[in-house]
Chain A
Amino acid sequence: GAVVSQHPSRVICKSGTSVKIECRSLDFQATTMFWYRQFPKKSLMLMATSNEGSKATYEQGVEKDKFLINHASLTLSTLTVTSAHPEDSSFYICSAAGTGGYTEAFFGQGTRLTVV
């Protein structure tokens, strides 16, 4: 299958700072990228869907000014957690889908964010 690389895998930041997470599709063009967050022993919760070149569509209850998503190219999407607070600590996962003959979505390794 295709490879999606997410970076960093783990980050610790101070409360009030911003953190950027990158998601790259390495061997196919991702026309769509999904961002999820996951709490311990819970399922993945969809935060937003972004299509290349368009603004992201956020799920209800997700603050778009706090979780900035950029999908400027067919191989890169970023999620920026602005003014992070301890309650933003979570496991964030990206997923990419698109061309290259793939009908499935592929997932990154996830980013463990800890806000102290």
Chain B
Amino acid sequence: LAKTTQPISMDSYEGQEVNITCSHNNIATNDYITWYQQFPSQGPRFIIQGYKTKVTNEVASLFIPADRKSSTLSLPRVSLSDTAVYYCLVGDPAKGQNFVFGPGTRLSVLP
């Protein structure tokens, strides 16, 4: 049973900021929140990971409220090449825990 809930799909236009929210009400104390991007016929690509508050890297930001029951991936100024499926996962894979995918969010960026 997936531990996360995300919107099934989203549409955006080039140059806009996109925010994808993920719910994980049963997140455990030791769980990290990790986001991946997947293109067709490729393995998922790591985007960003956080535990609490805000994390930013060169491609995205991750906002995590104090209760950690949700998180929001923010993609600034998306381009057509950002069209992909985005997955939010919770867990601690380095500790050997099963790392389960939810259905993901299919983002379509339009010109």
Contact = CB atoms under 8 A, between A and B. Distances in A.
A31 B96 contact: yes
B94 A43 contact: no
Closest 6 CB pairs of A and B: A97-B93, A107-B43, A105-B93, A44-B101, A32-B96, A97-B94
A93 B46 CA distance: 14
Q: Is the interface of B mostly helix, strand, loop or mixed?
A: loop
Interface residues of B, number: 24
B32 to A, nearest CB: 6
Contacts, number: 76
A95 B93 contact: yes
Interface of B: 32, 34, 36, 41-46, 49, 87, 92-104
B99 A105 contact: yes
Interface in A56-111: 57, 59, 91, 93, 95, 97-99, 102-110
> Interface size for chain A: under 10, 10 to 19, 20 to 34, or 35 or more residues?
20 to 34
Contacts of B46: 1, 104-107
A43 B102 contact: yes
A46 interface: yes
A110 to B, nearest CB: 5
B23 to A, nearest CB: 16
Among A95, A99, A103, A112, find the residue whose CB has the most chain B CB atoms closer than 10 A: A103
A25 interface: no
